[in-house]
Amino acid sequence: MPTRAAIDDFLAQKRIAFIGASSDPKAFSTSVYRELRGHGYELFPVNPHATTVEGDPCVASVADLPADIDGAIVMVAAEHAAEATQDCVDKGIPRVWLHKGVGPGSATDEAVAICRDHGVEVVDGACPLMFAEPAAWFHRVHRAERKLIGRLPG
């Protein structure tokens, strides 16, 4: 479980890579991307199959990102999470948020271990929209549910 300090530190950053961004306007990752951009984050989408995401230029790989990225949200299928995380380590990105919503998500044991083994601050297993304020009502409900069952970082 991520710490609240790691969550707050990540969300205090402004230049964020978004690995797994989709050019499909109906994809869940696109709604997360759109909402984070609406919160004022400067996002850098990464997807080898897209040239733009929500009108923003998209790069094909983490290696193609600018050098001064503050963190990366990894929102890919579980089987690609370790590779995407290693790409972040290789790029020198100091913070990684391994997205976890419904389903297995990107917060795999291997991806978390890669971060920890390389001194990368990791938020493992949460959705940033539960914590980026102001949170929409449904994200507040999800946050309250996690608090109730003892799975919300303190």
Give the amino acid at 51: T
The domain limits of the chain are 4-148
d(CA 64, CA 78): 22
* pLDDT above 90 (res 16): yes
Mean pLDDT of 21-29: 89
Look-up: residue for tokens 């990540």?
Answer: 10
Q: What residue spans of the chain are helical by DSSP H?
A: 4-11, 28-38, 78-91, 109-117, 137-148
d(CA 118, CA 102): 28
Among 7, 38, 31, 40, which Cα is nearest to 138's? 31
Q: What values do phi and psi take at 52, rounded to 5?
A: -140, 155
Domain 4-148, CATH 3.30.420.40 — does that match?
Answer: no
* pLDDT above 90 (res 47): yes
| pTM confidence score | 0.87
Mean pLDDT of 110-117: 96
Mean pLDDT of 49-62: 95
Element (H, E) at 57: strand 56-57
Q: pLDDT tens digits for 69-87?
A: 999 999 999 999 999 999 9
* Higher-confidence position of 8 and 133: 8
Predicted confidence at residue 100, as pLDDT, reads 81
Predicted confidence at residue 129, as pLDDT, reads 73
